[in-house]
Amino acid sequence: MDSADPLHRRERTAPALSFGGVADAYDRARPSYPAEAVTWLTGLDHAHVLELGAGTGKLTEELVRQGHRVVATDPIDAMLRHLVRRLPGTPAAVAAAERIPLRARSVDTVVGAQSFHWWDVERALPEIARVLRPGGHLSLVWNLRDERIPWVRRLGTLIGTQEQQNDPTHALLSSNLFGFVESATFRFWQPLDRARLRDLVLSRSNIAMMTETNRERVMAQVDEMYESYGRGADGMLLPYVTRCYKAVVRPPSLADDDRPDRPTPSRASDDGGDADALLIDFQ
């Protein structure tokens, strides 16, 4: 089915928007990203970074810590409210990758963590190319469970593994908007006790969209697996592979000049008012 078809787009985005109901669990349980991976994605120089699908700020926090000037966007207000509480002063706005409320050629790097697979790439990639400065990069990252380990593979069988197969290379190259795609891999372990493992499972879109009966059945199986893991009060260590990709934007054409029809974004804050900064050109 054509990705531009409205019904198809609603079907594709429904799981992504389901995160609004599990924002608290997502914030408590989702891991951050290795510092060395973030450095690889952005470089050592302090950059103007646009983060798409920033969620509750897991990646944003490390970007800010490394000295980058970040504008964080996400289509779900409930997620961004966690981000602005965690990182007061960081500009954050409710916006989607398919319609970015920034001027043309205004950022050095666009990053997306655990979000590329939710985008309508035919609409999002031209928007990303539009806002990147010449020589700028699109950088993408996923934390993926290392399912080479038997018990991790069993967990994936219980809760789903749809995020385990994501390689943006073909989409980026076939768009003709980006050059050679570089990749890198990093590894880390996430400590989990019973409560945090439950939150990690509940924060998944496919679990959030289940009926209550089916969700309780899955959670009972997850509890049983945790009990059989054998680490007791010490909990478990969940191994992750962090897969990173980046590609330089191709030189813009005259058709990519800034357009005056950028939308005014909704802005998130912890008190329901305006965020600390509007999305503006960084010049």
The answer regarding whether domain 6-146+164-189+239-266 maps to CATH 1.10.3720.10 reads: no
Q: Cα separation of 210 and 159, whole Å?
A: 11
* pLDDT values of the chain reduced to their tens digit, one per residue, 283 residues: 333 333 334 334 444 444 545 788 888 988 999 999 999 999 989 999 999 999 999 999 999 999 999 999 999 999 999 999 999 999 999 999 999 999 999 999 999 999 998 899 999 999 999 999 999 999 999 999 999 999 999 998 888 765 555 689 999 999 999 999 999 999 999 999 989 999 888 888 788 888 889 989 999 999 999 888 867 666 789 999 999 999 999 996 644 444 445 555 555 544 444 333 344 333 3
How far apart, in whole angstroms, are the C-alpha atoms of residue 39 and residue 139?
11
Say what the pLDDT of residue 15 is. 46
Tokens 């804050």 correspond to 269
**Other Cβ atoms within 10 Å of 257 Cβ, number:** 10
Question: Rounded to two decimals, what is the model's pTM?
Answer: 0.81
